[in-house]
Structure 1
Amino acid sequence: MFAKLARSALVIAALGVAGCTESSVQDFAPQHANKQLPAKIIAEMRAKGMNKNAPIMARIFKEENTVEIWKQKTNGRYDIIASYPICKWSGKLGPKFTEGDRQAPEGFYTVRPSQMNPRSGYHLAFNIGYPNAYDRANGRTGSNLMVHGACSSSGCYSMNDPQIEEIYAFGRDAFQGGQTEFQIQAFPFRMTAANMARYRNDPNYEFWKMLKVGYDNFEITKVPPKVDVCEKRYVFNQVAPEGTTFNPSGACPASAQPDALKVAYSQYQSKYDAAFASALNSSNPAPKPTILGTKEAALVADWSKRRARGERVTMDPPSLKSDGTVVETTTRMGRIDSPLGRKMAALDAEKAAAKKAAEEKAQAVAAAKAAKEAEKQRIAEEKAAKKAGKANAIAVVPPEQAAPQEPVTQTASSDGNMVSKVRKRLLGLFGG
């Protein structure tokens, strides 16, 4: 139990750094890797003339957000048996260019039994085989690109767990039936005339035109095309002369196609050309964002490296506009959840706490100083008020405190009358 817990912790820690990296620890296949397909799908297989262990093929459409599973019928042709909405895929429309650009690949890939991972940290998974011969010939890099569960993607095609259980079961059953490898065709969108017209001015258009040849071959034959690479490009259903091979970086041999296929393809292309011309004059939905080549891929890859080192970066990767302007969403910043990222985040938190404490101390000092100045001002105002009050008391005597002039006059007159009376009395006494 302890070993399993420890292994789970290591897997979780690795997921944040390496995106879709898988654990290499060997263990018994978990029960969900052996889950059987639902009875409803088994019944539909019978109705369409398919055996449970017959070969399969998968198609992925980014814009339509869809994974399709096709299965071989008893007549040798393939028919669709299941379709699933993609829970999450990473990046934009367009191919994967370099490690860390977070682009989900586009192209023709091969899955063998060794690429099936029942012990994936993403519930279940299988590696799609990127980089293939085309990618390597064109200098494209990357690793661990999966179709997996857990609905979390950093360059993969992620499904929810019940969906990946069914998709995994289709592959497992086909391998048990003797299929040695199955093909995955990954496209930016359904390669209809209307969609090709929508994206005719996109920098990835020539790449998509090349993929469309393989798309068309399957639409015509309902059999996965034979895929080779020469002159750094895909070629489909070509047969090389005996003794020659397809060299991914070398010149293409003087190959040929079966006559029946050439006729069918020519007829198909004529209808497509007419539909494409008509689509040019129609109002179609606006194109979705696409990756603008190796320059934008390098920008995102650098962002991924800095994020993996635990640096504080924008939550979303940068993107490139058609005029060459770099667009970054700087309103949301963060770090990857890794040991290094958590350590650096802790340092950030410590610095932020120290800064906040210093700001609060400065605010407290300023507030105390302001309070002291206010108290000084109040005391000064009180002293000034008292001083002004005394001056007013001296300069202005209240009316009730002033000596009235009339009573003074009356008092003097009263004293004179008294003297006169006394005088008369004395004169009367002595005969005067």
Structure 2
Amino acid sequence: MKIRISILTFLFVSSISMAGCQDLKRSKMIRANQALPVKIQKKMKALDMPKNSPILIRLFKEESMLEVWKQKRDGKYGLIAEYNICKWSGKLGPKYVEGDRQAPEGFYTVSPAQMNPYSNYYLAFDIGFPNAYDRAHGRTGRHLMVHGSCSSSGCYSMTDKSIAQIYAFGRDSFLGRHPEFQVHAFPFRMTAHNIIRYRKDPNYPFWAMLKEGYDIFETTRILPKIDVCYGRYVFNGSGGPCSPS
């Protein structure tokens, strides 16, 4: 009799636990499926941006700013939203090794597999570090995210309200059958004035290279094709021979 009671108790507790897990999972999926605010939807319509058109995310450390750009029907991108970065980890400069608590800089891509609706940080997506450039230079690290909860250890963290909208932009782009979106992470806005300010910084050669990609987008409002050749980022290359090193 005692054994039977124990078994029934175990099954009852297990069923409650499973129900709790299912409720938590449903709750997190509700987060991931939030619609963009009506105000943003109206702005998209006014700017001739289809709901499921591709996006670009740009991050600026010094300004603590995240931008979302979205493609218009004419093929060019327009700025649709800006969010304050709640916290970013480390200092100006790229990430080198796992554990240095440094937020990455460079050009990254995010696919649907990198989106995490079940994150412990409200919602999150992995930016794709290390990319081909990082690997070519022996840089290490993993799980470098843009996420909610306003806390950071090598990541870019946002308020939960902000990440819900940023996540929705990415989700809607994927629903338009676009396989990925780009994330451009910069130390600061790569203006001529700012790059001169940091001309004596050890990271200057790296930042000057990032500025090439920044300038292309600033001028054209079209995403550059980004590759890595001989240990360098190259933009809108002709597709000729290239051996990363």
- Do these two structures clear the TM 0.5 threshold for a shared fold by scoring above it? yes
CA–CA separation in structure 1 for the residues paired with 2:238 and 2:59: 26
Aligned residue number for residue 69 of structure 1: 68
Structure 2 distance, partners of 1:3, 1:93, is 45
Aligned-pair CA distance for 1:147: 0.3
Distance 1:4 1:136, change over 3 A: farther
Taking the aligned partners of 2:34 and 2:112, their CA distance within structure 1 comes to 17
1:104-163 deviation per Cα after TM superposition (whole angstroms, max 9, x unaligned):
000000000000000001000000000000000000000000000000100000001010
Give the structure 1 partner of residue 7 of structure 2: none
Determine whether 1:2 maps to 2:1: no
Secondary structure at 1:58's aligned position in 2? strand
2:146 counterpart residue number? 147
Distance 1:136 1:46 in 2: 40
Taking the aligned partners of 1:181 and 1:149, their CA distance within structure 2 comes to: 21
* 2:80 partner SS: strand
Name the SS for the 1:45 alignment partner. Answer: helix
For residues 46-125 of structure 1, the aligned pairs below 5 Å read: 46-125=45-124
Q: Give aligned pairs, total.
A: 228
Q: Which amino acid aligns with 2:236?
A: N
More helix by share: 1
Identity of aligned residues (%): 63
Q: How many angstroms apart in 1 are the aligned matches of 2:230 and 2:80?
A: 36
Question: 1:225 & 1:3 partners in 2: Cα distance?
Answer: 47
Q: How far apart, CA to CA, are the structure 1 residues paired with 2:66 and 2:20? A: 33
Partner Cα distance (1:2, 1:98) in 2: 39
Structure (1 or 2) with the greater strand fraction: 2
Q: In structure 2, how many angstroms separate the alpha carbons of the residues matched to 1:108 and 1:92?
A: 18
Aligned ranges 1:36-51 → 2 under 5 Å: 36-51=35-50
In the alignment, residue 98 of structure 1 is paired with which amino acid?
Answer: V
Stretches of 4+ aligned residues off by more than 4 angstroms: 3-6, 26-29
CA distance in 2, matches of 1:229, 1:203: 21
Q: Greater CA radius of gyration, 1 or 2?
A: 1
Query: Could you say what secondary structure the match of 1:98 adopts?
Result: coil
Alignment of 1:186-225 (within 5 A): 186-225=185-224
Question: Shift of the alpha carbon at 1:240?
Answer: 2.0
User: Partners in 2 of 1:89 and 1:174 — Cα distance?
Assistant: 25
CA distance in 2, matches of 1:228, 1:96: 19
* Equivalences for residues 4-403 of structure 1 within 5 A: 27=25, 29-241=28-240, 244=241, 246-249=242-245
Distance 2:215 2:18 in 1: 50
Q: Which residue of 2 aligns with 1:382?
A: none
Name the residue aligned to 2:13: none
User: Matched residues in 1 for 2:130 and 2:121: separation?
Assistant: 21
Please report how far the alpha carbon of residue 4 of structure 1 lies from its aligned counterpart in structure 2 after TM superposition: 8.2
3-state SS of the aligned residue for 1:32?
helix
What aligned pairs does 1:404-415 form with structure 2 within 5 A after superposition?
A: none
Paired residue secondary structure (1:209)? helix
Q: Deviations over 1:294-339 (max 9, x none)?
A: xxxxxxxxxxxxxxxxxxxxxxxxxxxxxxxxxxxxxxxxxxxxxx
Q: 2:83 is paired with a residue of what secondary structure?
A: strand
Q: Distance in 2 between matches of 1:4 and 1:80?
A: 42
Please, what TM-score do these two structures have when normalized by structure 1?
A: 0.51
Q: Distance in 1 between matches of 2:20 and 2:141?
A: 29
Distance in 2, matches of 1:135 and 1:4, equals 43
CA shift at 1:99, angstroms? Answer: 0.2
TM-score by length of 2: 0.90
* 1:30 Cα deviation from its structure 2 partner: 2.1
Mapped to 2, the partners of 1:4 and 1:82 lie a distance apart of: 38
Q: CA deviation at 1:178?
A: 1.3
3-state SS of 2:45 partner: helix
Could you list the per-position Cα deviations for residues 26-50 of structure 1 after superposition, in whole angstroms to 9, with x for gaps in the alignment?
9555211100000000000011111
**2: CA distance, partners of 1:30 / 1:140:** 34
Deviation at 1:224, TM superposition (A): 1.3
* Distance in structure 1 (CA, Å) of the matches to 2:243 and 2:68: 30
Secondary structure at 2:69's aligned position in 1?
strand
Distance 2:72 2:132 in 1: 29
Q: Secondary structure at the match of 2:62?
A: coil
Amino acid at match of 1:36: A
Distance 1:221 1:36, change over 3 A: same
Higher relative contact order (CA 8 A, sep 6+): 2
* 1:247 positional shift: 2.6
